Amino acid sequence: MPVFDVAIVGARCAGSPLATLLAQRGHSVCVLDKAQFPSETPSTHIIQPRGASSLERIGALDAVLAAGAATIESFTMVNDDVRIEDDFDRALFPRPGLCVRRVTLDSALVDAAVAAGADVRTGVKVTGLIRAGGRVTGVETDHGPVHARLVVGADGRQSRVAKAVDAQEYSTTPMGRLPVWGYFEGVEDREGRIRIARIGENGYLASPTDSGLYMVCIALSGGRTADREEAFESGIAGWPELADLLSGAKRTGPLRVMARWHGYFRQPAGPGWVLVGDAGHFKDFTPGQGIADALCQAEKLAVMLPADLADEPAVDAATQRWWAWRDRDAYAMHWFATDLGAPGPSTPVITEVLRDISADPQARRTLMRVLNHEAPPKSLLTPRRLAVATGRALRRPRRRAAVGAEIATAVRNEIRRARFVQRFATLVRP
């Protein structure tokens, strides 16, 4: 019976890129997915510039662009009465951002894996894991067993692999806003600008995407979701700039929703198995980093795995090191995204921080680097900037109580997050 070097469960934006990279290194790879592609999945559409660079290194960027991905060259961020605008400086970002529907992106990535020599089997459902001697040695499917030296769970938030190995969750966060998105035909604005906003209690993300469509996502605070159609239309009206942009356009297809989500880290590695992408880590969708994170995690894992995947101790040591890298890479951004997507209106201090950033070209560049997940949030939210913003907010008498509540919440969050670090530090081996 053949034994693959790697069996990857899930063929989307973590699994197929990993399969491509491993196949390019000469490994035998089997990819399994219950879906038949093209296939939709609830997800953000944005690929940050670092994700586009990752696609280029994998060899899939040209295919994704050829499939119609919209390039993002500039951005607008609105926070009530604060407005930040800038272009993606090619000196800082060699590749533009992208906006592409998953039905388009995932198909291109599957094709790239096949072209690299991976054995991609779609329409195959994984039903369990095969174990021997205390380690995972393959997967059971509705088409028969697949044996492998390493099993990768790249099967998303509801990962069957994660459940089968009982991967423990830590640093969990509750569901914030509910994202509801739709597509529009006939939007004249195709300039390659992404629009991000927080107006009242709603969050917004709007951008041209593939196939000549324009994507609009409205992140609804809890309690406003009984009638999603009504809430979506009300949300558009709540941001006049967006309503003007969509004037004369026609919505096509139903609204899409990502419901019942929460943020987490999961233990991502053990004897003979590893989790990548959303299977191992999911954070608030507001900064739109999930696809680029999955691509970069796949790249890092491919580099860190040993050349000989039959060397079990070396494989397990590599996945443990990858786990430590993943948590170091993701931890600060995990909480930044949680704060960015918190329900309710913008808080006074953060509003003043953004007002300061809007007037400072260097700070705007830093903001773009933070959103690209290449600079830590603390490089933007410096003690000095927070202190100045707090002082400015306190000079607004009617907001003093809100400032006090914001500071108290921030202190409680820092204490709680520090406890998470202490409690789960022993899980991650250097």
What's the pLDDT tens digit per position in 311-339? 999 999 999 999 999 999 999 999 999 98
Helix H segments across 286-399?
290-304, 312-340, 348-358, 361-371, 383-394
Q: Is residue 77 part of a domain?
A: no
Q: Is residue 118 part of a domain?
A: yes
Whether residue 298 is found in the same domain as residue 400: no
- For residue 38, is the peptide bond before it cis, meaning its omega torsion is within 30 degrees of 0? yes
Whether residue 188 is found in the same domain as residue 144: no
Whether residue 273 is found in the same domain as residue 419: no
Q: Is residue 89 part of a domain?
A: no
Q: Are 13 and 109 in contact (CB under 8 A)?
A: yes
Whether residue 7 is found in the same domain as residue 123: yes
Whether residue 368 is found in the same domain as residue 269: no
Q: Is residue 92 part of a domain?
A: no
Domain boundary among 337, 364, 382: 337
Taking the C-alpha atoms of residue 428 and residue 331, their distance in angstroms, rounded to an integer, is 13
The pLDDT value recorded for residue 221 is 81
The pLDDT value recorded for residue 227 is 83
The pLDDT value recorded for residue 413 is 61
Domain boundary among 196, 228, 257: 257
- The dihedral formed by the CA atoms of 310, 311, 317 and 323, expressed in degrees to the nearest 10: -10
Q: Are 7 and 32 in contact (CB under 8 A)?
A: yes
Helix, coil or strand: residue 194? strand
Whether residue 48 is found in the same domain as residue 115: yes
Interval 217-271: pLDDT, tens:
999 986 455 688 999 999 999 999 999 999 999 999 999 999 889 999 999 999 9
Whether residue 239 is found in the same domain as residue 136: no
- The dihedral formed by the CA atoms of 373, 333, 31 and 4, expressed in degrees to the nearest 10: 100
The model's pTM is: 0.92
Q: Which residue has the higher pLDDT, 195 or 427?
A: 195
pLDDT of 430 above 50: no
Phi-psi region of 4 (alpha: psi -120 to 50; beta: other; left: phi over 0): beta
Percent of the chain with pLDDT over 90: 75
Confidence of residue 38 (pLDDT cuts 50, 70, 90): very high
Q: Which residue has the higher pLDDT, 413 or 262?
A: 262
Q: Are 312 and 191 in contact (CB under 8 A)?
A: no
Phi-psi region of 120 (alpha: psi -120 to 50; beta: other; left: phi over 0): beta
Altogether, the residues listed in the chain come to a count of 430
Whether residue 243 is found in the same domain as residue 379: no
pLDDT of 401 above 70: no
The pLDDT value recorded for residue 65 is 95
Q: Is residue 91 part of a domain?
A: no
Element (H, E) at 72: strand 70-72
Interval 128-155: pLDDT, tens:
999 999 999 999 999 999 999 999 999 9
Interval 62-112: pLDDT, tens:
999 999 999 999 999 999 889 999 998 888 899 999 999 999 999 999 999
The domain that contains 330 carries what CATH number? 3.50.50.60
Whether residue 409 is found in the same domain as residue 349: yes
Confidence of residue 189 (pLDDT cuts 50, 70, 90): confident
Taking the C-alpha atoms of residue 176 and residue 337, their distance in angstroms, rounded to an integer, is 10
Domain boundary among 337, 354, 385: 337
CA distances from 101 to 46, 47, 68, 216, 236 (A): 9, 10, 10, 12, 21
pLDDT of 274 above 80: yes
The domain that contains 204 carries what CATH number? 3.30.9.100
Mean pLDDT of the chain: 90
Q: Is residue 228 part of a domain?
A: yes
The pLDDT value recorded for residue 399 is 61
Helix, coil or strand: residue 283? coil
Whether residue 208 is found in the same domain as residue 350: no
The pair of structure tokens assigned to 62 is: 């040209």
Question: Containing domain of residue 209, as a range?
Answer: 178-257
The pLDDT value recorded for residue 67 is 92
Q: Which residue has the higher pLDDT, 275 or 403?
A: 275
Whether residue 307 is found in the same domain as residue 184: no
Interval 352-379: pLDDT, tens:
889 999 999 999 999 999 999 999 999 9
Q: Is residue 78 part of a domain?
A: no
The pair of structure tokens assigned to 394 is: 């306190």
The pLDDT value recorded for residue 225 is 57
The pair of structure tokens assigned to 157 is: 């938030």
Q: Is residue 90 part of a domain?
A: no
How many folded domains does the chain comprise? 3
Whether residue 311 is found in the same domain as residue 361: no
**φ and ψ at residue 403, rounded to 5 degrees:** -65, -45
The pLDDT value recorded for residue 226 is 62
Element (H, E) at 75: strand 74-79
